[in-house]
Structure 1
Amino acid sequence: MSFFWVLSGKRLKKIALIVIAFLFATGIYYAENNDIQVFYPLSKDPSAIYSVKTDKKQVALTFDISWGEERTGPILDVLQQKGLKKATFFLSSPWAETHPDLVKRIVDMKYEIGSHGHRHDNYSSYTEEQIRTQIQKADTILTKLTGKKPNLIRFPNGDFDKRVLRISDQMGYKTIQWDTDSLDWKNPGVDKIIKRVTSKVHPGDIILMHASDSCRQTHEALPVIIDQLRAQGYEFVTVSDLIAGSNVKMDPVE
């Protein structure tokens, strides 16, 4: 919450000083600009990141994996064939545990790895203890398999609430969503996946795709998507690259 006060004249000086002292004492920040004093909270609730604000034509391709072993390989083949050196994979830890060879390939290709949680469930329905347990289980497994602790998380089904965001933030994670959803999980047809991504993409975009077995058309649409975005002048970077170089777009959670 922000408070705006316009203070003018000597009669309000005393009141202003009292108010300022009170706001500082209660943890609210004070900034002065000529005759207008603006008060901001010192702390904000953590938010999910959907995209970044940037003038650079950069986007992050992201892939969620929660089950199966037939689609990840072909997708990695496409990325390799296209010479795409940067992408971000969000791995479900049970999948990662049962497919260490594919995890190793992703690591060897030097792609960024984030957590997709442990159980593929809506964490907003969990108690706080259960939320912590699910995040920590995934953290432990992914750290062991990849040799690096993840610091990005995309929750199963994109589901979270304020508690989930707060707990993940306390555990050292940034919650990542997306601005462009390819809807590849619906298998709507290769052309529709291509059109949806290439028509909605924008600088600083986080693009959601999947590498689970249920998504049968992603590896066919991906080469064209990469070619068309490159033709539009886009550079592919990781989610962390986007965050490091730009202002993130965060949507409030009700």
Structure 2
Amino acid sequence: MKGIWVLNIRRRKPLIFICVAAMFVASWLFIAKEHVSVFSTSEGPQAFYRANDAKQSIALTFNISWGEKRVAPIVKLLQDHDVEHATFFLLASWAEKYPDLVEVIQEAGYQIGSHGYRYKDYTMLDDEEVIRDMRRSKEVLQQLTDTAPTLLRPPNGAFTKQTLALADEQSFDVVHWSVNSYDYKNPGTEAIIENTLSHTQAGDVLLFHASDSVKQTEQALPTILTALKKQGYTFVTIHTLMDGSSADSEIVE
């Protein structure tokens, strides 16, 4: 069993950091600024997954770990729908192989975070292996973008309290998600749309993918983006959701 620490953000309360340990079983955890991190507290570092009272703001995030066919079309689709802000979490070994696609993302003005260097579950590695992977991912992405990434989404979205501590040492904020489109399962366009629209609320972090194995995201996104805009949502960066917020904690089971 692994202790998982996650944060829920509430703007109206004073800066009170309350840490609650949650017991969770699974190798797949679907809970998911220049430092100093606002999520490093006296009780230990925390992971961000959503913001409360966010005034209709939400964050689109995309994981990329392999393949070259989906990235540019998805970036273009976002631009065609006037989406100014999104965050792409890149596997750094993938980024090394496809620097031109990293450039496509960066030139579109979208934020780039780390998805690790190798696609290895951090909860299955020892501390030194995790540190090496985090450091290597940061080095590669900084070389490619001229900017050191400060956001980290661990491979598989899997992490423990120790993972959070190691990430904090490397000046990373761990970012999970609160709405999972389950697009990686290729469940059908309508299912991806339903998975997203039926659960999204202000402050949510939405999870999608742009790897070649995920075949239906591009078809689902136009309907999703149009519907979310009609509902009054604004797409912002992860940092915008984080900034200016105090923290509550919440058990994820």
- CA distance in structure 1 between the partners assigned to 2:152 and 2:249 by the alignment: 15
Matched, 1:226 2:187: no
Does the 8 Å contact 1:49/1:251 carry over to 2? no
Equivalent-residue separation in structure 2 for 1:227 and 1:86 (angstroms)? 15
Letter in 2 for 1:168: A
1:177 aligns with 2:180: no
Q: Secondary structure at the match of 2:195?
A: helix
Distance 1:170 1:251, change over 3 A: farther
Q: Deviations over 1:48-90 (max 9, x none)?
A: 1110112400000000000000111111111111111100000
Give a deviation string over 1:4-55, Cα, whole Å, max 9, x none: xxxxxxxxxxxxxxxxxxxxxxxxxxxxxxxxxxxxxx71121211101124
Aligned-pair distance for 1:127? Answer: 1.2
- Deviation of 1:235 (Å): 0.2
Q: Which has the higher contact order (CA 8 A, sep 6+)?
A: 2
Q: Is the 8 A contact 1:51 1:250 kept in 2?
A: no
- For 2:125 and 2:69, the matched residues in 1 are separated by 31
TM-score, structure 1 length as denominator?
A: 0.81
Shift of the alpha carbon at 1:251?
4.5
Distance 1:208 1:104 in 2: 22
Q: Deviations over 1:168-227 (max 9, x none)?
A: 011111100000000000011101101111110011000000000111000010111100
Is there any run of 5+ residues in structure 2 with no aligned partner, and where? 1-40
Identify if the C-alpha distance between structure 1 residues 55 and 240 changes in structure 2 by more than 3 Å, giving closer, same or farther: closer
Structure 1 window deviating more from structure 2 (146-155 vs 43-52): it is: 43-52
Partner of 2:211: 212
CA contact (8 A) 2:65 2:211 kept: yes
Give 3-state SS (helix, strand or coil) of 1:209's partner.
strand
Worse-matched range after superposition: 200-209 or 239-248: 239-248
Please tell me the root mean square deviation across aligned C-alpha atoms, in Å.
1.5
Counterpart in the other structure of 1:46: 45
| Cα distance, 1:253 vs structure 2 | 8.2
Q: Residues 129 and 206 (structure 1 numbering): CA distance in 2 closer, same or farther, change over 3 Å?
A: same
SS class of match (1:104): helix
Q: Does 1:74 align with 2:73?
A: yes
Count of paired positions: 213
Q: How does 1:149-160 map to 2 (within 5 A)?
A: 149-160=148-159
CA distance in 1, matches of 2:238, 2:59: 6
In 2, Cα distance between the equivalents of 1:185 and 1:118?
Answer: 20
Structure 1 unaligned spans of 5+: 1-41
Please tell me whether Structure 1 or Structure 2 has the larger radius of gyration of its CA atoms. 1
Conservation of the 8 A alpha-carbon contact between 2:54 and 2:241: no
Q: What residue is the counterpart of 1:113 in the other structure?
A: 112
Q: Secondary structure at the match of 2:85?
A: coil
| AA aligned opposite 2:173 | K
TM value normalised by structure 2: 0.81
Larger % of helix: which? 1
Residue matched to 1:36: none
**2:35 match:** none
Q: Does 1:102 align with 2:106?
A: no
- Determine the structure 1 residue equivalent to 2:123: 124
Does the 8 Å contact 2:63/2:88 carry over to 1? yes
Structure 2 letter corresponding to 1:177:
H
